[in-house]
Structure 1
Amino acid sequence: MARQHDLVACVASPKALLLLILSRIGLLLLVIFLLLVAVLAALAIATEIRARGIEARTPNIGERTDVGGYSLNALHVPAGPNADLPPIVFIHGASGNLQDQTGAFLEPLRGRAELLFVDRPGHGYSERGGPENDTPDGQANAIARLMEKKGIDRAIIVGHSFGGAITASFGVLHPDKVEGLVFLSAATHPWPGGVDWYYHLASAPVIGPIFCHTLALHAGMMRIDAATEHVFAPNTRPVDYVEKTGPQLVLRPSAFRSNAKDVAGLHAYVTDFAPRYREIAKPTVVITGDADTIVLEEIHSKGLARDIEGSELVWIKGLGHKPDYIVTDIVIAALEKIAGKERDLQSMARAVEPRLAATSVDPGGSAPSLQAGQ
C-alpha cells in the first residue's frame, strides 16, 4: 500500500516524480561505480601478482649504485688481461632493459674491454629518480655519474633505438667522457606523426597510473611474442630472445609509466636538442637498415650522419630494427674501428645483405612505433 501511495503522490506531483527518478539513477550509478572499483581492484591485485612473477623469472643480474639520491642498476664486467678495446657503455632502447644488450654483446666482448650494461632510469631494476630523468639529457647525466662511480673515465657509448637519443645527448653534454659513439637504429630527430596512443595515456596524470596498475600488463602479455617478432622483422627473432632478455619487465606498472613518459616526450625533446648534435666531434659510426619498421632510418640515421662531422653511416639493405642481434659482427667491427683498428664496415655490410635477403620474413603483427601516424 505504501508503494502505491508513493506512486500516486508522484503522479500527482511532477517534482516528486523527478526526485524519485533521480534517486533511482543515483542508486544505479553508485552500484556501477562500486562494481568498477571492484573490477579495478581485482585487476590491480592481478597486476601485482603477475609483476612479481615476471621479476622471479627475470632476476636482476646487475648491481644497484647510488647516483645522487636514487640508484641505477648495471652489470659491470671488468676487462681481461689482454683487453684490446677501450671501455664500452651500452644504453638500451625503449621498452628494454640491460639484458637486451648483454644478450647480444656480453659473450662476444667478454675480456676484450671493460663493459657497462645499464638499466636506464625507471627501467629494469633501476629507480626512476626525479623528473629530470623524463628526458634523454637527464638520463645521460645519470649514466655519466654512474661511470664516475664505476671508475670509468672515458668509454665508447653505444645506444640502440631510444638509447640513441641518450647517446647523442651524452656526446654533447659529456665529451670528456667519450672515446667514440656507436648508434644502432637510433631515434634522434623529429619525425612526422607521433607515437602510439597508449604512451600518452600511460604518461598522463591520474588516469595514467590507473591504466598502468590495472590493464597495461595484462594487455601487454598477450602481445609480447608478436611485438618482439615485429621489432626484429623482417629479420628473424632468436627463439630464446624473450626468455633470455625479459622484455616483460617493462610491463610492470612503474616501468611501463617510465617508458611511456620517455617515448611520449621524445619528439619535443629531439626537436629542441637535435641542432646541438653538430657540437659532437668524436669518432662516430651510425648503423641502420632500410627495412626498419620502428624508426625511420631516412630521418634519424641519415640525420646523425649529416649532423656529426666525420661520422660513418653503415646502411644495410634488408636489416630491420635490431642490428645488435642481426649484424653483431659489424657492430663489434665498428667498436674496433673507433679503437683505431682497420675495418672496412661498408664491405662487411655488402657481404651480409644476401643472407638478410634470403632469411627475410613477413613482419606481420604490430609493435610500439616511433613513426605512428604516417
Structure 2
Amino acid sequence: MPEASLLLLPRIGFVLLVILLVLISVLAALAIATQLRARAIEAKIPNIGELIDIGGFRLNALHVPASPEADLPPIVFIHGASGNLRDQAGAFLETLRGRAELLFVDRPGHGYSERGGPENDTPDGQANAIARLMENKGIERAIIVGHSFGGAITASFGVLHPDKVEGLVFLAAATHPWPGGVDWYYHLASAPVIGPIFCQTLALHAGMMRITAATDHVFAPNPRPETYVEDTGPALVLRPSTFRSNARDVAGLHAYVTGFAPRYREIDKPTVIITGDSDEIVLEEIHSKGLARDIAGSELVWIAGLGHKPDYIVTEIVITALEKIAGKERDLQAMARAVEPRLAATRVEPVGSAPSLQAGQ
C-alpha cells in the first residue's frame, strides 16, 4: 500500500468515529425528546380506567355497572389497532350508560394496560386475557363488540370462550387472510434490535406530525368528529412500548388469521356484522363477507357510503344490533337503507394516508 494511503487510514478512522458519535448523540437526543413527549401525552390523556390484575399482568378497563332499569345484557368493547378504551367509550358510553353493564378494555400493551407475556402477541392470547378480566369483574356472559383488529379478538373469543358469549357484534372487522401485507413500519417497529431503537427515537415524532391526517383517513369517506383526537387519545399509541406492542399485533395478524379463521365455523352465537362498502383500512369484501359466510345464522349489515368507523358514524345501528341480540325485534336492513342518503350527503374526500391492513391500495 502506498505511503500516502497509509497516512490516510487514521484520518478515515477519525472521521468514522466522529460520524458515529454524532449519530449516537442524535439518537440520544431523540430518545430524550421521545420520553418527554410521551409523558406530556400521558399528562394530557390520563387513565380513566382501573388497572386489574388478571394473573401475571394487569389489564386496564373502564367498568360501568348497569342501572336497575337495564334492558340489555353486559357488553364488552374491544378496540382496534392503534386505539385504546377511550375510542369505544367515546362512541357508546353515554348512550348506553345504565342500559347494561359496560366493560371497555385497553387491550394488552395498549392504553394503560400492561403487555404481559408473548401469548398476548396474538388475538387468542388477548381473548383469553379479556375472558379472565370478565371473571374478575363477575361478568358471566356478555355481548362482545369488536372494532377492526378487535374483530379478530372477538372472533377468537367466540371460538375459545363460547360459555361467556351472549352474542357477537363485528364492526369493520379484520378477521381473514387478505392479499398483500401491512405498512413497512409495523415490521420495522416489531423487529429485534432495530425495532426498539426506532420506537424510542423516531416513531413518536413522525406520528405526531401525521395524527390528524391519519385519523381523517380512518374515518373517510365520512367526516371525523371535530374533537375525536382530543377525546379519544390516539396519541397514546405513539409511546415507545405501546407502539411496539401495536406493531407486533398488526405485523402478526395475517399469519394468525390464516391459521385460525377456519375455526370461525364453530361459532353458534347470535352475530351481527356491520360494515361499509367504502372502508379504506380493511377489505370488507374479504373480512365482513367472510364472517357472514363462516358464522351460521349471522346477519351482515352492508351500508353504502360507510367507511371504517361504524361505531361513530352509524352508532344507532350498532346499538340496535345489541338490542336485536338481546331478543328485541329490530330491522337492521331497513335502518341501513335509511342512513345511506345521509352518508352520501356528508361524504368527504380522503386526505393523506393512514395505517392500513390492505397493502397495495
Tell me the TM-score normalised to structure 1 length: 0.96
Matched, 1:135 2:122: yes
Report how far residue 42 of structure 1 moved. Answer: 0.3
- Does 2:319 match 1:332? yes
* Superposed counterparts of 1:289-308, under 5 Å: 289-308=276-295
Partner of 1:46: 33
Q: Report how far residue 373 of structure 1 moved.
A: 2.3
Structure 1 segment 228-247 matched on structure 2, within 5 A: 228-247=215-234
Counterpart for residue 307 of structure 2: 320
Alignment of 1:177-256 (within 5 A): 177-256=164-243
Residue 296 of structure 1 aligns to a residue in which SS?
A: coil
Which residue identity is paired with 2:66?
A
Residue 285, structure 1, aligned to residue 290, structure 2? no
Is residue 2:63 matched to residue 1:86?
Answer: no
Q: 1:68 aligns with which of 55, 67, 76?
A: 55
Which runs of 5 or more structure 1 residues have no equivalent in the other structure?
Answer: 1-13
Report the alpha carbon displacement of residue 280 of structure 1 after superposing the two structures with TM.
Answer: 0.3
Distance 1:270 1:289 in 2: 21
Tell me the CA shift for residue 25 of structure 1: 1.1
Q: Residue 104 of structure 2 aligns with which residue?
A: 117
- Of 335, 347, 359, 1:360 maps to 347
TM-score by length of 2: 0.99
What's 1:162 paired with?
A: 149
RMSD over aligned CA atoms reads 0.7
Q: Deviations over 1:284-317 (max 9, x none)?
A: 0000000000000000000000000000000000
Name the CA distance, whole Å, in 2 between partners of 1:121 and 1:33: 37
Q: Report % sequence identity.
A: 85
Task: Write the distance in 2 (CA, Å) between the matches of 1:135 and 1:19.
Answer: 55
Q: Using the TM superposition, give the Cα deviation of residue 15 of structure 1 relative to its aligned residue in structure 2, in angstroms.
A: 5.2
Hey, what does 1:311 align to over in structure 2?
Answer: 298
Q: Secondary structure at the match of 1:294?
A: coil
Whichever of the two has the greater Rg, that structure is 1
Tell me how far 1:20 sits from its aligned partner.
2.3
Separation (CA, whole Å) in 2 of partners of 1:213 and 1:45 = 9
CA distance in 2 between partners of 1:123 and 1:340 (Å): 33
Aligned to 1:4: none
Counterpart for residue 8 of structure 1 = none
Deviation at 1:18, TM superposition (A): 3.4
Q: Which residue number corresponds to residue 7 of structure 1?
A: none
Distance 2:315 2:254 in 1: 28
Match of 1:147 among 125, 129, 134: 134
Instruction: Write out per-residue CA displacement over residues 202-257 of structure 1, whole angstroms, 9 at most, x where no aligned residue.
Output: 00000000000000000000000000000000000000000000000000000000
CA shift, 1:67, in A, is 1.0
Alpha-carbon separation, structure 2, partners of 1:20 and 1:29: 15
Instruction: Structure 2: give runs of 5+ residues left out of the alignment.
Output: none
Name the SS of the counterpart of 1:143 in structure 2: helix
CA deviation string 1:241-277 (max 9, x = no partner): 0000000000000000000000000000000000000
